[in-house]
């Protein structure tokens, strides 16, 4: 693993979930999830209406994610920052695939005065982690595949609240129960709805069907130390 530079990959697959579960107690907040190896700081700060940066002919289905960010006492959190990144419809991440432009499907945006947000993006795909090296051979020896279910990544922050790193998964994904990283948590799974009625398309200014899902994040108040 050391000679082939796969120690970080091996730790991400077999250790990171345990570290995350040990370090973060939910205490009524949204459950945390592993950051993964594909985070890049400095994503563009978006303006409303929020849309993650994408190519002119970005492959995949149009998807709108909405929700509210609240504190554990139920108070809506205005100006909470969401830093979001994801794979594209082919399971590739910008900055890690040379064929993708910088910050493709990456962006930061804030909640409104009522803690609400909505962002347009493209439905991500499941993807296979590198399996040609020792990590892949170890997985094969265990009889395990090398796929992750489709997901969004998030880092959330708000003054006086603890930061949160987590992921959001999709109901019905056949890989949910066999995530190679073992990171999937049922509390982070959302239902996805398809919209194709003319009235729905007109509301979004679209001529093709689109999908929606919703997730409300709960942040823990910061503990004074």
Angle (CA) 98-131-8 rounded to 5° is 75
- Region 209-216: mean pLDDT is 98
* In a domain? residue 1: no
**pTM of the prediction?**
0.94
Expressed as residue numbers, the domain containing 157 is: 7-33+44-219
- Does residue 39 form part of some domain? no
Structural domain includes residue 225:
no
Tell which residue, 120, 215, 217, has the closest CA to residue 171.
215
Find, among 35, 108, 68, 20, the residue nearest to 218 by Cα.
Answer: 68
Q: What is the CATH number of the domain that holds 188?
A: 2.60.130.10
| 51: CB partners within 8 A, 6+ apart | 107, 119, 120, 121
Instruction: With respect to residue 26, please indicate whether it lies within any of the assigned structural domains.
Output: yes
pLDDT of residue 199: 97
Is the predicted pLDDT of residue 23 greater than 90, yes or no?
Answer: no
Total domain count for the chain?
A: 1
Helices (H), 59-209: 134-141, 198-204
Which of 12-16, 102-106, 115-119 is predicted with the least confidence, judged by mean pLDDT? 12-16
Specify if 224 maps to a domain: no
Residue 92 located in a structural domain: yes
Per-residue model confidence (pLDDT) at position 225 = 54
Which two structure tokens, joined as six digits, stand for 87? 């794979």
In a domain, residue 82? The reply is: yes
Dist CA 119 CA 109 (whole Å)? 9
pLDDT band at 223 (very low <50, low <70, confident <90, very high): confident
Q: What is the pLDDT of residues 37-70, one digit of tens each?
A: 999 999 999 999 999 999 999 999 999 999 999 9
Residue 2 within a domain: no
Quick one: what percent of the chain has pLDDT higher than 90? Answer: 92
Q: In whole angstroms, what is the distance from residue 104 CA to residue 102 CA?
A: 6
Report pLDDT digits (tens) over 74-88: 999 999 999 999 999
- Token pair for 151: 């997901």
């Amino acid at each position: 693993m050391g000679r082939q530079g796969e120690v970080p990959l091996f730790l991400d697959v077999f250790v990171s979930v345990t570290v995350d579960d040990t370090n973060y107690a939910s205490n009524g907040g949204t459950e945390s999830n592993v950051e993964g190896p594909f985070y890049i700081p400095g994503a563009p700060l978006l303006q409303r209406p929020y849309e993650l940066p994408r190519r002119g002919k970005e492959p995949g289905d149009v998807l709108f994610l909405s929700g509210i960010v609240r504190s554990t006492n139920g108070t809506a959190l205005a100006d909470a920052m969401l830093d979001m990144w994801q794979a594209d419809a082919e399971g590739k991440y910008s900055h890690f695939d040379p064929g993708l432009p910088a910050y493709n499907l990456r962006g930061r945006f804030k909640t409104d005065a009522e803690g609400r947000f909505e962002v347009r993006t493209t439905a991500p795909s499941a993807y296979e982690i590198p399996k040609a090296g020792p990590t892949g051979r170890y997985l094969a020896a265990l009889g395990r595949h090398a796929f992750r279910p489709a997901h969004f990544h998030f880092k959330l922050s708000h003054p006086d609240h603890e930061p949160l790193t987590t992921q959001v998964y999709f109901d019905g994904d056949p890989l949910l129960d066999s995530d190679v990283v073992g990171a999937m948590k049922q509390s982070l799974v959302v239902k996805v709805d398809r919209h194709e009625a003319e009235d729905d398309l007109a509301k979004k200014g679209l001529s093709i069907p689109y999908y929606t899902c919703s997730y409300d994040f709960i942040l823990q108040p910061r503990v004074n130390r």
